[in-house]
Amino acid sequence: MDASLEELTEKLNQARAEIAKVIIGQEDVVNAAMITIFTGQHALIEGVPGVAKTLLVRTLARVLGTEYNRIQFTPDLMPADITGTNMFNLQKNEFELITGPLFTSFLLADEINRAPAKTQSALLQAMQERTVTIDRETYTLPDDFTVFATQNPIEFEGTYPLPEAQKDRFMLKINMPYPDQEQERILARRILGPEAPEKQLDQVQNVLNQADLLRLRDALELITVREELVDYAVDIIRHTREHDSMLVGAGPRATQALLLASRACAAIDGRDFTTPDDIKSMTTPVLVHRIILRPEFEIEGLTVPEVVQQLLQEIAVPR
């Protein structure tokens, strides 16, 4: 049976309620994560240690009721450690595939920037095509295969920058900030009793299964996106390639990501239509990891989010 927008909104609200049992505050982060999942894309989560990046992903996997694997990226990690390899079985006198952690529905790539580019690139085919090639044989991953990667923005020793092709495959870059004072007080109180986040994780109920998730993704097509808004999104992305401060602008995949994310943002709010504000709100997480500023503007202290806001001010908003 086809899903309706009412069912989609109901499931989104249920999922957020379950996540809130473990993750205190961080509503914008949770919404961005839900947008990533329901559009069938991938996300890069950036935050300092201790803000619950890994716990968020574990909670999402529990709520979605999907198979979950975690890879701890390290400098000595090899591509075969992720994808798997063919090993010779002496008993059967033949090679057999030993699958790696990539063969799952929900993958946490923890501290992805600690592995060299060769290892990071092992995810490229899986993220784009949901397939894995091992010894010239191609294997298909589940339709709901999703990657959430984390990285620490303040520690650079022993890390490697993500290749541009890798970053472009992440639909959103989600910045996870410190909790505010009241949220941190609640967390401090919880940690002393039976409501500690790690204990609460065991109480989280899954509200979806794989079939439901795929069905609800199709329901997003019922949300109206006017042609003027499509043109607005295209103008924003194309302007990144012409702006004086830009060394590298965003590609066509960013346009697609912006429209998909904006449509899902409308679903989060329970609407059946997309607005310019949806596009504005998703522009920074879509672009912040895709564009590169010219060195002279970085020296002046200009940041990518500030440039994105300048771009939005320079483009006429459709009525």
Statement: residue 278 has pLDDT above 70: yes
How many other CB atoms sit within 10 Å of the CB of residue 208? 21
- Please provide the average confidence, as pLDDT, over all residues in the chain: 87
3-state DSSP of 189-239: HHCCCCCCHHHHHHHCCCCCCHHHHHHHHHHHHHCECCHHHHHHHHHHHHH
Residue 97: predicted pLDDT: 83
Name the 3-class secondary structure at 144.
coil
Statement: residue 202 has pLDDT above 90: no
Statement: residue 128 has pLDDT above 70: yes
Q: What contacts 300, CB < 8 A, 6 or more positions away?
A: none
**Do 86 and 49 fall into the same domain?**
yes
**Do 186 and 235 fall into the same domain?**
no
Statement: residue 232 has pLDDT above 90: yes
Residue 2: predicted pLDDT: 67
Residue 300's pLDDT band (cuts 50, 70, 90): confident
Q: Is residue 214 part of a domain?
A: no
pTM: 0.89
**Do 177 and 295 fall into the same domain?**
no
Interval 83-98: pLDDT, tens: 988 888 888 888 888 8
Q: Is residue 5 part of a domain?
A: no
Q: How far is CA 275 from CA 111, 149, 226, 272, 280, in A?
A: 35, 29, 9, 10, 9
Q: How far apart are CA 56 and CA 106, in angstroms?
A: 13
Statement: residue 1 has pLDDT above 60: no
What CATH code is carried by the domain that includes residue 267?
1.10.8.80
Residue 198's pLDDT band (cuts 50, 70, 90): low
**Do 293 and 148 fall into the same domain?**
no
Query: Which backbone phi and psi does 277 adopt, to 5 degrees?
Result: -65, -35
Q: Is residue 79 part of a domain?
A: yes
**Do 258 and 287 fall into the same domain?**
yes
| DSSP for 48-96, written as a single string | -TTS-HHHHHHHHHHHHT--EEEEE--TT--HHHHHEEEEEETTTTEEE
Q: Is residue 293 part of a domain?
A: yes
The length of the chain in residues reads 319
Statement: residue 302 has pLDDT above 70: yes
Closest CA to 312 of 267, 289, 282, 274: 282
**Do 194 and 286 fall into the same domain?**
no
Closest CA to 214 of 142, 271, 263: 142
Contact at 8 Å (CB) between 62 and 204?
A: yes
**Do 66 and 141 fall into the same domain?**
yes
Contact at 8 Å (CB) between 163 and 5?
A: no
Residue 44: predicted pLDDT: 94
Q: How far apart are CA 191 and CA 305, in angstroms?
A: 34
**Do 175 and 287 fall into the same domain?**
no
Q: How far apart are CA 121 and CA 73, in angstroms?
A: 12
What CATH code is carried by the domain that includes residue 177?
3.40.50.300
Q: Is residue 191 part of a domain?
A: yes
Tokens of 174: 């989600």
Contact at 8 Å (CB) between 206 and 67?
A: no
From 64-73, 151-160, 215-224, the region with the lowest mean pLDDT: 151-160
Q: Which domain holds residue 204?
A: 26-208
Interval 144-190: pLDDT, tens: 899 999 988 776 666 788 888 889 999 999 998 888 888 888 888 87
Interval 243-265: pLDDT, tens: 888 888 899 999 999 999 999 99
Closest CA to 166 of 214, 118, 108, 211: 118
Q: Is residue 3 part of a domain?
A: no
Q: How far apart are CA 292 and CA 60, in angstroms?
A: 31
Q: Is residue 216 part of a domain?
A: no
Residue 149: predicted pLDDT: 92
Q: Is residue 13 part of a domain?
A: no
* Start-to-end Cα distance in the chain: 36
Domain boundary (208, 242, 257) is at 208
Split into its structural domains, the chain has a count of 2
From 104-118, 156-170, 297-311, the region with the lowest mean pLDDT: 156-170
